[in-house]
């Protein structure tokens, strides 16, 4: 996602009253009050790093840790490239 897209989304969310942000599909109502501040912090962090884009994962931290563990063990799988499926799917020993 580009920093310009994040800025636009942040501005769009900021223009909506809190009550309507809580009703917005895809946004956890418990985060509606902090999402705008989070967008500002994120864009400022990206700008300070001279980053114009960022990768957003649809997986959790445990998924990434599992991928790193498999990779460090010399196992490659669809997990390590972020494809869907279960841990170990299409895996093979590389060492």
Tens digits of residue pLDDT in 38-51:
999 999 999 999 99
Q: Is the pLDDT of residue 93 over 50?
A: no
Mean per-residue pLDDT, 83-92? 43
Distance CA 43, CA 81 (A): 27
Q: What are the C-alpha distances in Å from 28 to residues 25, 51, 61, 66, 91?
A: 8, 27, 19, 26, 35
Is residue 75 within 8 Å of 92, Cβ to Cβ? yes
- SS3 at position 15: coil
Q: Is the pLDDT of residue 84 over 90?
A: no
pLDDT band per the 50, 70, 90 thresholds, residue 30: very high
Q: Is the pLDDT of residue 15 over 50?
A: yes
Q: Is the pLDDT of residue 75 over 90?
A: no
């Amino acid at each position: 996602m580009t920093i310009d897209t994040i800025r636009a989304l942040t501005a769009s969310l900021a223009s909506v009253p809190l009550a309507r942000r809580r009703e917005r599909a895809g946004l956890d109502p418990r985060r509606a009050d902090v999402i705008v501040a989070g967008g500002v912090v994120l864009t400022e962090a990206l700008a300070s790093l001279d980053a114009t884009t960022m990768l957003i994962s649809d997986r959790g931290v445990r998924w990434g840790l599992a991928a790193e563990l498999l990779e460090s063990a010399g196992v490659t799988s669809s997990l390590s490239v972020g494809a869907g499926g279960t841990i170990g799917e299409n895996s093979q020993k590389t060492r």
